[in-house]
Amino acid sequence: MTHSFHPTILREYDIRGIVGETLFAADARAIGQAFGSRVRQAGGSVVCVGWDGRLSSLELAGALTEGLMSTGCTVRRVGRGPTPMLYYAAKVRDADGGIMVTGSHNPPTHNGFKMVFQGKPFFGADIRGLGEIAAAGNFAQGQGGVVEDDIRLEYCDRLVQDWDGKRELRVVWDCGNGAAGEITEMLAKKLPGRHTVLFGEIDGRFPNHHPDPTEPHNLRALQDAVLFERADIGIAFDGDGDRIGVIDNEGRILWGDQILVILAEDLLKTRPGATIIADVKASQVFFEEVARMGGKPVMGRTGHSLIKTQMVELGAPLAGEMSGHIFFADRYYGFDDALYAAIRLLGIVSRMERQTLGARRDKLPHMVNTPEMRFDCADERKFAVIDEVKDRLDSEGAKVNSIDGVRVDTADGWWLLRASNTQAVLVARCEAKSVEGLKRLRAALEAQLAKSAVTLPG
N residues, the chain: 458
Distance CA 27, CA 161 (A): 39
Instruction: Spell out a b/e string for 16-49, using b for 16 or more CB atoms within 10 Å of the CB, else e.
Output: bbbbeeebbbebbbbbbbbbbbbbbeeebbbbbb
pLDDT (average), residues 333-340: 97
Q: Say yes or no to pLDDT of 434 above 80.
A: yes
Q: Residue 346: name the closest of 169, 157, 155, 194 by CA.
A: 169
Question: What per-residue confidence (pLDDT) applies to 12?
Answer: 85
Name the catalytic one among 70, 104, 283, 350: 104
Question: What per-residue confidence (pLDDT) applies to 135?
Answer: 97
Strands 233-237 and 170-174: parallel
**Is 104 annotated in the active site?**
yes
Distance CA 110, CA 18 (A): 4
Q: Residue 314: name the closest of 294, 301, 298, 332 by CA.
A: 298
Phi, psi of 409 (to 5 degrees): -95, 135
Distance CA 85, CA 89 (A): 6
Note the pLDDT tens digit of each residue in 281-335. 999 999 999 999 999 999 999 888 899 999 999 999 999 999 999 999 999 999 9
Distance CA 48, CA 87 (A): 9
pLDDT (average), residues 337-350: 98
Running DSSP on this structure, what letter comes out for residue 367?
-
Is residue 216 exposed (0-12), middle (13-18) or buried (19+ Cβ within 10 Å)?
A: exposed
Q: Say yes or no to pLDDT of 24 above 80.
A: yes
Q: Say yes or no to pLDDT of 140 above 90.
A: yes
pLDDT above 70: percentage of residues in the chain: 100
Note the pLDDT tens digit of each residue in 367-415. 999 888 989 999 889 999 999 999 999 999 999 999 999 999 999 999 9
- Show the domains of the chain with their CATH numbers: 15-150 (3.40.120.10), 154-362 (3.40.120.10), 368-451 (3.30.310.50)
**pLDDT band, very low/low/confident/very high, at 268 (cuts 50, 70, 90):** very high
**pLDDT band, very low/low/confident/very high, at 354 (cuts 50, 70, 90):** confident
Note the pLDDT tens digit of each residue in 356-366. 999 999 999 99
SS3 146: strand
Instruction: Kindly give the residue spans of alpha helices, DSSP state H, lying in 191-244.
Output: 220-229
Which sign, positive or negative, has the C-alpha torsion 396, 398, 403, 409?
A: negative
Average pLDDT, the chain: 96
Note the pLDDT tens digit of each residue in 197-255. 999 999 999 999 999 999 999 999 999 999 999 999 999 999 999 999 999 999 999 99
Distance CA 432, CA 38 (A): 48
Structure pTM? 0.94
Question: What per-residue confidence (pLDDT) applies to 424?
Answer: 85
Question: What per-residue confidence (pLDDT) applies to 371?
Answer: 83
Q: Residue 74: name the closest of 92, 93, 56 by CA.
A: 93
For residues 191 and 160, the answer to whether their CB atoms sit within 8 Å is yes
Q: Say yes or no to pLDDT of 458 above 80.
A: no
